[in-house]
A and B are shown apart, each in its own frame.
Chain A
Amino acid sequence: MEISRHWRLKKQRYSLVGEVCPHCDAKIFPPRDVCPQCGQEAKTEYQFSGRGEVFSYTTIYDAPAGYEETAPYTVAIVKLAEGPMVTAQLTDLGKEPVQIGMPVEMVTRRIRSDGDERGMLVYGYKFRPVLTNAAA
């Protein structure tokens, strides 16, 4: 049971809220309050667009505990449009093959249940192939 941790991280997990450095304008995700670029304090909230592209990926067939029910699934390193890299599952792939450089967008999905079917549901970001250009 990690209820307090899920609760603490909800903002970044639900909607990709990170930080922007007031000194060098670097966009930071996940938020860490110190700018990885210039080393100064960076606590200003920043809403990421959710747009990015696949930098690298792999498919998991033998899933770790808690993720068995959704295996096989694809995990990617996504390079966000604003710069940072995040690791996340890809979803809604249908029959589309994943390609490096593929444009993706963030969606909030059910990640797993904390423990068994009685545990809390954990929601967070995943990425899917861009639905349409209408929302760009």
Chain B
Amino acid sequence: METYPNTHPKPNVLLKPVISVGVVGYGAYVPRYRLPAKEVARIWSNGVAGLPIKEKAVPGLDEDVITMSLEAARNALARAAVSPDGIRAVWVGSESHPYAVKPTSTIVAEAIGAAPHVQAADMEFACKAGSEAMVMAMGMVGSGMGHYALAIGMDTAQGKPGDALEYTAGAGGAAYLIGPAQESLATIDGAFSYVTDTPDFWRREYQRYPEHGQRFTGEPAYFKHITEAAAALMSAQGTTPKDYKYAVFHQPNVKFPQRVAKMLGFTKEQIAPGLLVGVIGNTYAGAALIGTTAVLDIAEPGDRILMVSFGSGAGSDAFDMTVTPAILERRERAPKTRDYIARRTEIDYGTYVRYRGKLAMR
């Protein structure tokens, strides 16, 4: 009799496909404009509020999740150097899709030349919509249904004027082309998802800005889900924090990922290269993914990377990756994440208000 081990409820069952998979190409995107957190404090607290980050990335007037996903996708394809017609899925995770009804993914698929023989869908799960797309891509490639699948996490995050989130709600993200392990610049050796119904943050239909459960966003939400997912993944893989050269955690501010790293036993050095929130803000569905692109930009073959996302509502996806020698040549084929971060034009609060469409024009 055949057995199906993954259908039985037992702890620490890895998400690991039958066919080994990995990252064939990756690409980041960060828009050019930066709003310093002190500008938000200047307007809303006479400059006395504590600042959770230095500054956040703000999209230009002609940018949104579609245009930003497209640039990240083009970078991922440039690195992978594969023909777009080999891509069998384009999945975009975001909580700021430009349309309420009409997919982001079809426009991205069309523009990169992957349409029409392709799956396309938009994912939604607060800040983990991007990593969710990655798990799905692992499933598609790992089952043999498609040779390549493109997973994107991208956001132009919303924050209510004056709210704590306005300091950090940034813009950016990354695209990952998932394919067979033997073609990969980093293999994905396993993943683990941990999800519960936790009301820490939400946005109702037709509302412009999200609500959050204040302190509830910490212990029962961010810290619980990330530590559970990371610990289960490491236990199943038989690894400890020492086995990883780098770790990247979802980063809504600078303190949370630093603290969760410490809780799990990771050092500051392990998380520093992927900790971008201080200079680009919280990129929501893009956060863990773009942090990992900055790590891939500098990693050496053999380095092991732990990536753990967190999405409110709530859940975490943890990934165990190992960098291969293909990284060395491929990462030079597209702009690095730090190139985008270095391209920087500071704006004031007034310009930010205009760029984010907070002025009623009619």
Contacts and interface: CB of A to CB of B under 8 A. Distances in A.
Interface of A: 10-11, 14-15, 47, 68-70, 89, 91-92, 94-95, 107-111, 120-121, 123, 126, 131-132, 134-135
Contact of A132 (B61, B102, B111, B335): B335
Given A14-B110, A131-B343, A135-B78, A110 B336 contact: no
Contacts of A11: 110
A7 B353 CA distance: 32
Contacts of B70: 14, 108
A132 B110 contact: no
Interface centre among A11, A14, A126, A135 (most CB of B within 10 A): A135
A120 B102 CA distance: 10
A111 B62 contact: yes
Contact of B339 (A14, A89, A126, A132): A132
**6 closest cross-chain pairs (CB), A and B:** A94-B345, A14-B111, A109-B62, A110-B62, A132-B339, A132-B335
A69 B357 CA distance: 9
Given A69-B361, A70-B61, A107 B335 contact: no
B111 A110 contact: no
B60 interface: yes
Contact of B64 (A69, A94, A110): A110
Contact of B32 (A47, A94, A110, A126): A94
Interface residues of B, number: 32
Given A15-B111, A92-B32, A135 B340 contact: no
Contacts of B75: 135
B332 A91 contact: no
Interface of B: 31-33, 60-64, 66-67, 70-71, 75, 78, 98-99, 102, 107, 110-113, 332-336, 339-340, 343, 345, 361
Given A108-B111, A109-B67, A131 B335 contact: yes
B67 A107 contact: yes
Contacts of A70: 61-62
B63 A110 contact: yes
A11 to B, nearest CB: 8
A41 B66 CA distance: 35
Contacts of A89: 62
30 contacts: A14-B110, A14-B111, A15-B111, A15-B112, A47-B113, A69-B361, A70-B62, A89-B62, A92-B31, A94-B32, A94-B343, A94-B345, A107-B67, A107-B71, A108-B70, A108-B111, A109-B63, A110-B66, A111-B62, A121-B66, A123-B67, A123-B107, A126-B62, A131-B343, A132-B336, A134-B332, A134-B336, A135-B78, A135-B333, A135-B335
Contacts, number: 71
Contacts of A14: 70, 107, 110-111
Contacts of A47: 113
Nearest to A130: B335
Nearest to A136: B333
Contacts of B98: 110, 121
Contacts of B78: 135
Nearest to A113: B98
A82 B112 CA distance: 20
A1 to B, nearest CB: 15
Contacts of A91: 60, 62
Given A15-B113, A69-B361, A91-B60, A108 B67 contact: yes
A134 B334 contact: yes
Nearest to A13: B111
A134 B345 contact: no
A14 B115 CA distance: 13
A13 to B, nearest CB: 9
